[in-house]
Homo-oligomer: A and B are copies of this chain.
Amino acid sequence: MDFEEKTIKRTEIFDGHIFKVAVDDVELPNGLGQAKRELIFHRGAVSILTVTPNNKIVLVKQYRKAIEKISYEIPAGKLEVGENGSEKEAALRELEEETGYTGDLELLYEFYTAIGFCNEKIKLYLAKNLEKVPNPRPQDDDEVLELFELTLEECMDLVKSGDIEDAKTIIALQYYALHFGGKN
């Protein structure tokens, strides 16, 4: 059985700052004919499961225009142009900008967020041995953030109540629960 879909034609729809949009005409495998694939191309992002010396998890409260709601998430940020291959530095930058912390980073997972139509890949790091940066880089000037430091139990309650409904944050919290926490 063959799986690959060969591109016959790509139609570029949009070339933005955050993502590009294209529609591909593809040749299906196994003589199944042709189909169209609507696609989003994104540079990727980093996110950081940030654990303080007293085992609290750092969450960022922010407004998300796509869902028109407040969201609680682990610190994260898009890769800038040319940052492919230096994701760890990007993660340290985002950690400092969003939380004022620096620390030791360990790569936990890489995952595609919306694999059906989008190539955004997020690298998830664990940040430990946190220290406050004396004069941290400022937050992006179009972001309004508020920080919280919560126990794993408090975080898991926010998942259950639906206040945390961000996939990367749920992955990070589950990882923490599996490796460092009690059972939930």
Q: What residues of chain A have their CB less than 8 Å away from a CB belonging to chain B? A: 1-5, 13-14, 16-19, 21, 23-24, 26, 28-30, 32-33, 35-42, 45, 61-67, 70-71, 73, 76, 78, 109-122, 141-142, 144, 146, 159, 162, 165-168, 170-171, 174-175, 177-179, 183-184
Contact = CB atoms under 8 A, between A and B. Distances in A.
Nearest to A78: B116
Contacts of A113: 113-114, 167
Given A162-B110, A166-B115, A171-B167, A1 B146 contact: yes
A133 B4 CA distance: 29
Contact of A66 (B14, B109, B116): B116
SS class, residues of chain A in contact with chain B: mixed
